[in-house]
Amino acid sequence: KQEVTQIPAALSVPEGENLVLNCSFTDSAIYNLQWFRQDPGKGLTSLLLIQSSQREQTSGRLNASLDKSSGRSTLYIAASQPGDSATYLCAVDSNYQLIWGAGTKLIIKP
């Protein structure tokens, strides 16, 4: 059974720092992996989607990598801003369903 873990559960850093969020999954047979952002009381916004054949995807200050063999993905955020404060969730498409991590709550301090 696929399980997705995100560590740390919460992270607080000063504005301007580069940071890395981690996502690990137990079954490497995935179709794709997505990173989402969730603001308090809001729905989820898709940030990046990495197909299983890809190693990374980039969008602006965000870069997501995927290493299927080790069951890991990272989301790199460059030059963090207070507006980046949110909960970041990863989800893997595994066995025809999206399996989600519990998220990392990120706080960027001005």
Partner 1 sequence: GAGVSQTPSNKVTEKGKYVELRCDPISGHTALYWYRQSLGQGPEFLIYFQGTGAADDSGLPNDRFFAVRPEGSVSTLKIQRTERGDSAVYLCASSLTGGDRVTGELFFGEGSRLTVL
Assess 71 for contact with partner 1 (CB under 8 A).
no
Return d(Cα 23, Cα 6) in angstroms, integer: 5
Minimum gap (Å) between residue 11 Cβ and partner 1 = 15
Say which residues have a Cβ less than 8 Å from residue 45's Cβ, sequence separation at least 6.
36, 37, 38, 39
In angstroms, the Cα distances linking 34 to 16, 26, 110 are 25, 16, 28
Q: Is 100 in the site for partner 1 (CB under 8 A)?
A: yes
82 — phi, psi (to 5°)? Answer: -55, -30
Give the interface size with partner 1 as a residue count (CB under 8 A): 23
The CB-of-9 to partner 1 minimum distance in angstroms stands at 8
User: How buried is residue 55: exposed, middle or buried, by Cβ count under 10 Å (0-12/13-18/19+)?
Assistant: exposed
Examine residue 11 and tell whether it contacts partner 1 (CB under 8 A): no
Residue 74 touching partner 1 (CB under 8 A): no
Which of positions 20-59 make contact with partner 1 (CB under 8 A)?
Answer: 31-32, 34, 36, 41-46, 49
Question: For binding to partner 1 (CB under 8 A), which residues are involved?
Answer: 4, 31-32, 34, 36, 41-46, 49, 89, 91, 93, 96-103
